[in-house]
A and B are shown apart, each in its own frame.
Chain A
Amino acid sequence: MDRYSRMVAFLKVLLPLTALVLLSTLFLISRGVDTDATIPFAEHEIEERMRGQQVTAPFFSGTTAQGDEITVTASIARPGGLAAPAVATDLQAVIKMADGGRLTLTSNSGEVYLDKDIASFSGDVVITSTSGLEVTTDLLNATLSGISANSPGPVTATGPIGVLNAGSMQLETKTQGGPLQMLFNNGVKLVYDPQKSER
């Protein structure tokens, strides 16, 4: 065998071996993929999600018989069971009344009792109305089928009328189809400062 064929025979062995070595560096010596990447959820969040269904950023809108539009949004809403009411957090409700008025209502949390047709807002409830009145209370029960609400607890309100606090507050239309009235009762005290409005 002359030199050339001996060199070819030698290369026939050497070249596949180097190829094998090169290939193995890809798998054997490489840094290796860390397969157990950390999941971005904390443990308690998973448990919370597992406990019951949950709607994030729910949006609900409807119109009442008199033609007033109600839109309600929240950050999280959980459906209620048979006895337990549906619970929502960071609620915001906007009511556009047929005769032009507009009411916005925000609260920390709210529960919806479908069987009793009541939605109760709790946790620094703020109601602002077109008449420039801003009413704050800590609990407000509103009926679902129409526009009427009452806040059994003490209420404070500020507006062009001045600063006012009352024992309780009712929001309803007194006569059928009449204008929406906000009734403050059991003891109303208003302080109006003429200077403040002059500036």
Chain B
Amino acid sequence: QSTSIAFGTIKADPSLPVEVTSDTLEVNQVDGSAQFLGSVLVVQGVMRLSADNVLVIYKPEQKGIDRLEATGNVILVNGPDAAEAERAEYTIDSGTIVMNGNVLLSQGNSTLASSQMVVNLNSGTAQMSGRVKTILNPDGNN
């Protein structure tokens, strides 16, 4: 089953410049693929995505970056909400982030866990699917 919830207060704008910082970057000279390694941090406007390594996939004919594949304790922070997963795929132009591998989303004092989550930055909504489990703290403190 799947639930859709609001994610992040401000609507992120996918046309903002994306800034990626990391310890090292490997650019393969034959096929041109690029891999960021070592505490990689992707920042775009309000959205911040950190992971151990991020692989860059290009659009055809190197016209730009199609998507970023982050693996290794991925943490996505967008405004007050934070989500954690093993892998995440961020398609820049469409502004969607697909996170899978025991996703843990914490919003305010409630946390949701599921196997997959699709975040749409433009509309600011997130769609969690696959064994969604919510942990509500009735007394308000977590």
A131 touches B18 (CB 8 A): no
Partner of B27, one of A184, A192, A194, A195: A184
Q: Is A62 on the interface with B (CB-CB < 8 A)?
A: no
Partner of B30, one of A100, A185, A186: A100
- Beta-carbon contacts under 8 Å, A150-181 to B: 159-162, 164, 166, 171, 179-181
Once the chains are docked, how many angstroms separate the CA of A187 from the CA of B26?
12
Closest to A103 in B: B29
Q: Is A188 on the interface with B (CB-CB < 8 A)?
A: yes
Return chain B residues, CB-CB under 8 Å to A198. Answer: 64, 93
Partner of A184, one of B16, B25, B31: B25
Return chain A residues, CB-CB under 8 Å to B20. Answer: 188-190, 192
Q: Is A144 on the interface with B (CB-CB < 8 A)?
A: no
- Beta-carbon contacts under 8 Å, B63-114 to A: 63-65, 92-93
A162 touches B25 (CB 8 A): no
A183 touches B24 (CB 8 A): yes
A97 touches B25 (CB 8 A): no
Q: Is A191 on the interface with B (CB-CB < 8 A)?
A: yes
Q: Is B141 on the interface with A (CB-CB < 8 A)?
A: no
Write out, one digit per residue, whether chain B residues 25-57 have a CB within 8 A of any chain A CB (1) or not (0): 111111110101000000000000000000010
Once the chains are docked, how many angstroms separate the CA of A162 from the CA of B64?
8
- Beta-carbon contacts under 8 Å, A105-120 to B: none
Closest to A179 in B: B30
Once the chains are docked, how many angstroms separate the CA of A186 from the CA of B27?
15
Once the chains are docked, how many angstroms separate the CA of A195 from the CA of B63?
11
Return chain B residues, CB-CB under 8 Å to A180. Answer: 28-30
Q: Is A133 on the interface with B (CB-CB < 8 A)?
A: yes
Once the chains are docked, how many angstroms separate the CA of A152 from the CA of B14?
35
A197 touches B59 (CB 8 A): yes
- Beta-carbon contacts under 8 Å, A58-106 to B: 97, 99-101, 103
A181 touches B34 (CB 8 A): no
Given contacts A160-B62, A191-B19, A197-B59, contact A179 B27 (CB under 8 A): no
A191 touches B17 (CB 8 A): yes
Given contacts A181-B29, A194-B18, contact A160 B65 (CB under 8 A): yes
Return chain A residues, CB-CB under 8 Å to B36. Answer: 188, 190
Instruction: Please list 15 pairs of residues, one from A and one from B, whose beta carbons are closer than 8 Å in the complex, sorted by A's number.
Output: A132-B32, A133-B32, A159-B62, A160-B58, A171-B29, A181-B29, A182-B29, A189-B19, A191-B18, A194-B17, A194-B65, A194-B93, A197-B59, A197-B63, A198-B93
Pairs of residues from A and B, 10 with the lowest C-beta to C-beta distance, nearest first: A197-B64, A131-B32, A160-B62, A180-B29, A179-B30, A185-B24, A184-B25, A182-B27, A193-B17, A188-B25
Known A131-B27, A160-B32; 10 more pairs at CB < 8 Å: A131-B31, A162-B17, A180-B28, A181-B26, A184-B25, A187-B23, A188-B20, A190-B21, A190-B25, A194-B17
